[in-house]
Amino acid sequence: MVAAVILVWNPREADRWDYRAAVGQAVESGRFLRPWSVDQAPNVRGGTEAWLFATAGSDSGTGLIGHGMVMSEPYQAVDGDDGAPGWHVSVAFDALLPLGEQVRADTLRSAVPGIRWGDAIGGTTILVPPEAEPGLRRLWRDVGPVPAGCAEVVPGTYPPDAVSTISVNRYERNDDARRVCLAFHGTSCAVCGFSFEASYGHAGTEVIDVHHIVPPEMLGNGYLLDPVADLVPLCPNCHAMAHHGVSQPRTVSELRSIIAVSGHFGGEVVSSLALEAQADARRILESGHDRRSGST
């Protein structure tokens, strides 16, 4: 099995798809799943990295336009209008550029000479030589998609096993829902209490993630988001831990318990009055201990 392949796409072929909608879904949810025809089936397995290359069939020109991962083993299905069976795989695209913004073939030839880029690229699947992968990643990092957040890594800029992927759903990216959530809950992390504004001043104003308490896939199609009940503010660390390594996100209570067991505070913002009360209590206890010690 090869580590990476290039999927060749001619936008003018019969197998059309709503590419603009696919770009939007990849931006909102970080994933667009689609079956893909391959002519290198023995070399394309689940876990193979996939790059999308648009040929001259695109009105906006030839170039590298997307990145994803092969999610299935090859399977046979009817391919095209002729009814003939062909080999397919399921591909989860995690980064797609809008048509017109693809990385052009001349740029690709200069930065990644190990691949024959251009209109004459043949077949539906091109194997990526291992020595070409570093240059491909550097180019994608320099001129590919822009991350949605300052802490996000663009898919395809690093080897898949070097990056831990955290799923973020479209509700967590909705600006209106975010504003309502923060207006009610504030901008401190609901788990650990961290406040960007308290730590960084004006530069940290409203810098916080929002987290969907119940995964949207568990809800019905008629579901209406309640930004107050369904969303909570979380710092990036707690947000990552809410999603990391679990099929269903950890709850706020579970995350607080994990922190408490690890020897840290349980996720409440301590006010100045509370700190003063603790100091007073400590002085009272210490003075009482001193009196008892002096009477013996």
Burial group, residue 85, by CB count within 10 angstroms (0-12, 13-18, 19+): exposed
Q: How far apart are CA 142 and CA 33, in angstroms?
A: 25
Q: Are residues 203 and 110 part of one domain?
A: no
Q: How far apart are CA 267 and CA 223, in angstroms?
A: 30
Q: How far apart are CA 126 and CA 119, in angstroms?
A: 13
* Parent domain of 136: 4-162
Asked, for residue 222, whether it belongs to a domain, the answer is yes
Q: Are residues 196 and 157 part of one domain?
A: no
On the question of pLDDT at 216 being above 60, the answer is no
CA 38 to each of CA 23, 48, 132, 232, 271: distance values in angstroms, whole numbers, following the listed order: 22, 12, 21, 43, 60
On the question of pLDDT at 83 being above 90, the answer is no
Average pLDDT of the segment spanning 218-227: 65
pLDDT tier at 217, thresholds 50, 70, 90: low
On the question of pLDDT at 258 being above 70, the answer is yes
Strands (E), the chain: 4-9, 32-37, 49-54, 63-70, 75-78, 85-96, 103-104, 125-127, 209-212, 231-234
More confident residue, 85 or 228: 228
> Which amino acid makes up residue 6?
I
Q: What is the pLDDT of residues 38-77, one digit of tens each?
A: 887 777 888 889 999 988 654 457 889 999 989 888 888 7
- In 3D, which of 62, 66, 70 has the Cα closest to residue 45? 70
Asked, for residue 289, whether it belongs to a domain, the answer is no
On the question of pLDDT at 290 being above 60, the answer is no
Asked, for residue 203, whether it belongs to a domain, the answer is yes
For residue 86, the model assigns a pLDDT of: 81
Q: What is the pLDDT of residues 168-185, one digit of tens each?
A: 555 555 677 888 888 888
On the question of pLDDT at 89 being above 50, the answer is yes
Where is the domain boundary, 162, 192, 227? 162
pLDDT tier at 222, thresholds 50, 70, 90: low
Q: Are residues 179 and 156 part of one domain?
A: no
Number of domains in the chain: 2
More confident residue, 294 or 199: 199
pTM of the shown model: 0.56
Cα-Cα-Cα-Cα torsion 245, 248, 249, 251, nearest 10 degrees, comes to -120
Q: Are residues 185 and 118 part of one domain?
A: no
Asked, for residue 248, whether it belongs to a domain, the answer is yes
Q: What is the pLDDT of residues 95-123, one digit of tens each?
A: 898 888 888 888 888 888 888 886 556 56
Q: Are residues 215 and 137 part of one domain?
A: no
pLDDT tier at 150, thresholds 50, 70, 90: very low
On the question of pLDDT at 203 being above 70, the answer is yes
More confident residue, 140 or 78: 140
Q: Are residues 101 and 11 part of one domain?
A: yes
Q: Are residues 250 and 145 part of one domain?
A: no
Residues 6+ apart with CB under 8 A from 65: 9, 52, 53, 54, 96, 97, 99, 101, 102, 103
pLDDT-above-70 percentage for the chain: 72
On the question of pLDDT at 149 being above 60, the answer is no
Q: Output the domain CATH number for residue 142.
A: 3.10.590.10
Asked, for residue 122, whether it belongs to a domain, the answer is yes
More confident residue, 294 or 190: 190
Average pLDDT value for the chain: 77
Q: What is the pLDDT of residues 4-42, one digit of tens each?
A: 889 988 877 655 688 888 888 887 777 888 888 888 777
Asked, for residue 277, whether it belongs to a domain, the answer is no
For residue 119, the model assigns a pLDDT of: 58
On the question of pLDDT at 251 being above 80, the answer is yes
Asked, for residue 61, whether it belongs to a domain, the answer is yes
Supply 194's token pair: 């961290």
Q: Are residues 48 and 153 part of one domain?
A: yes
- In 3D, which of 148, 154, 147 has the Cα closest to residue 172? 148
